[in-house]
Amino acid sequence: MAVPDKGVHGPLAGVRVVELAGIGPGPFAAMLLADLGADVVRVDRPGGGGLAINPEYDVTNRNKRSVIVDLKAADGADRVLDLVDRADVLIEGYRPGVAERLGVGPGACHARNPKLVYGRMTGWGQEGPLAQRAGHDIAYIAITGTLGMIGNPGEPPTVPANLVGDYAGGSLYLVVGILAALHHAREHGTGQVVDAAIVDGTAHLTSMIHGMLAAGGWQDRRGANLLDGGCPFYGNYETADGGYMAVGALEQQFYDEFSALLGLADEAPARKDLARWGELREAVAARFKARTREEWTAVFEGSDACVAPVLSLTEAPGHPHLAARGTFVDHGGITQPAPAPRFSATPTDIRGGPAQPGADTEDVARDWNVPALMSTPTKEDD
């Protein structure tokens, strides 16, 4: 393992990661490792192929470095394997079998570096009837039952952007797997393959719900439960100006404060009477519609009523609490979330903006002692 460079922050300083360029959960996982201090080298393909935005704004490539390798060229695989020789981790997000066909599958990589942690990020997993099928976040979370939980009854399920599948069920589980496998490699000297499938991770996220379902404490339909909008004191309510307030007054002491500040103390006993939940919801909605979001924010400020304004993406960085914590930062003219979580002994930071394709080839070739990166790739004859 490489010796951490002075000035490089984060608990993963000294860990070397090769990221085979892709989109979605793979780059986000690699960004998280980079935020934690790892030296992440993204292997971009000639001509790009990432998000349909200017690479200068692709925040998921921050804190990384980029080289360009044509894996379909005669010496493309060897170039990547030269990096693998010196790496602790590799991340790829191809369909099953593609990395093997390109010459950079687990077998080829472990033959060069037995300690390598080989992270595989897919939607369906490496095997199963759907393994070779194309897909996106919405389909992965659909078959796990997760998408069907979200939204109002009688309406189509609400699409939660790509946060639940790609990032929560995908990227974060890949990172957990990589860190666990890194620990094993350090202890035992052997690497392994981490098969992170979005369907597996997303299903795992519903563990508590499945327990409640088995115990009879959860109904298998939308908008009928404590945490899915069915409960009148756990949901979102429109205000007079078209804004929204989020209410999460689940426990009795929080609910008592909520109902008092809302001016509904007389209706408070309806909390425990499920038959009156509809009546209670109408009363709460009517009260919130009487004032603006700003006015209600002032009413609940400093209380334990568990009520907060629903802010937009552009409003969130200006919230006093988030501003005080530095939850969002400006770097390179882009407002973006700061690295998370936080560490007392090995603080993290944003060391560089989004890696530009191929811009770091010379530096990586020097720092990783891979001079072959500097040579010009030669295409195989068709």
Longest dimension (CA), the chain: 81
Contact 34, 340 (CB under 8 A): no
Q: Known catalytic residue: 9? A: no
Residue 209 CB: number of other CB atoms within 10 A? 18
Per DSSP bridges, beta strands 328-331 and 89-92 are: unpaired
Q: CA torsion, points 189, 193, 195, 196, in degrees to nearest 10?
A: 50
Structure tokens at 218: 């959860």
Q: Whole-angstrom Cα distance, residue 46 to residue 379?
A: 12
Q: Known catalytic residue: 137? A: no
For helices 293-300 and 252-262, angle between their N-to-C axes, nearest 10 degrees: 130
Tokens 């009156």 map to which residue? 276
Q: Whole-angstrom Cα distance, residue 43 to residue 80?
A: 8
| Long-range CB contacts for residues 216-224, cutoff 8 Å, separation at least 24 | 221/153, 222/148, 222/149, 222/150, 222/151, 222/152, 222/153, 222/157, 223/151, 223/152, 223/153, 224/153
Q: Whole-angstrom Cα distance, residue 108 to residue 113?
A: 9
Q: Which of 136, 188, 204, 210 is catalytic?
A: 136
| Long-range CB contacts for residues 19-22, cutoff 8 Å, separation at least 24 | 19/43, 19/64, 19/90, 19/91, 20/71, 20/80, 20/90, 20/91, 20/92, 20/93, 20/94, 20/99, 20/104, 21/45, 21/49, 21/50, 22/50, 22/92, 22/93, 22/94, 22/121
Q: Which of 44, 88, 137, 166 is catalytic?
A: 166
Helix (H) or strand (E) run with residue 90 in it: strand 89-92
Can you tell me whether residue 209 is helix, strand or coil? helix
Helix (H) or strand (E) run with residue 176 in it: helix 172-188
List, by residue number, the catalytic residues. Answer: 136, 166
